[in-house]
């Protein structure tokens, strides 16, 4: 794979901002990812948290995809789970193993943070994502609810 996968750290705020742009492009939701970009200080603090993981797929300096995940500490046992919140690859770079490479790069990070499992959601009509996730793990059919606060 000619792409580099980079685990973003505190000094990578510019890369994280480019990842936001890539997510907006890949999901067809530029407003969601570009209209209210958090401050550099907020993003540095986020990147410094052990419960936040951001990986960027790079083609040279260009961010062509990435994933953002959260480490969730469990209460019933001394373990964690990692939730992939966003995972996307820009259209011109799809079908090249980047998404799979991002998930594989997440695995050792998850292990190091005490995780027993990585989990992710996929939208019903997203056949490519569902096929990828089924090839990597066990499918569970669940319902997702957004509750307004």
Structure tokens at 127: 């056949």
* pTM for the full predicted model: 0.91
CB atoms within 10 A of CB 71: 18
Q: Residue 67: exposed, middle, or buried by beta-carbon count in 10 A (0-12, 13-18, 19+)? A: buried
Could you give the CA distance from residue 75 to residue 61 in angstroms, rounded to a whole number?
40
Residue 81 φ then ψ, to 5°: -130, 150
Per-residue pLDDT, 118: 96
Query: If one looks up domain 4-136 in CATH, what number appears?
Result: 3.40.630.30
Low-confidence ranges of the chain (pLDDT < 50): none
């Amino acid at each position: 794979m000619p792409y580099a996968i980079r685990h973003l750290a505190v000094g990578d705020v510019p890369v994280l901002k480019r990842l936001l742009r890539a997510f907006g492009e890949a999901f067809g939701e530029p407003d969601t990812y570009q209209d209210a970009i958090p401050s550099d200080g907020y993003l540095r603090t986020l990147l410094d948290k052990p419960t936040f993981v951001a990986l960027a797929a790079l083609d040279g300096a260009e961010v062509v995809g990435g994933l953002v995940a959260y480490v969730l500490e469990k209460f019933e046992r001394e373990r964690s789970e990692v939730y992939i919140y966003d995972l996307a690859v820009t259209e011109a770079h799809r079908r090249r193993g980047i998404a799979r490479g991002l998930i594989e790069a997440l695995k050792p990070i998850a292990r190091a943070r005490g995780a027993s499992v990585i989990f992710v959601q996929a939208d019903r009509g997203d056949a490519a994502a569902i096929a990828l996730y089924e090839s990597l793990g066990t499918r569970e059919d669940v319902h997702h609810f957004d509750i307004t606060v």
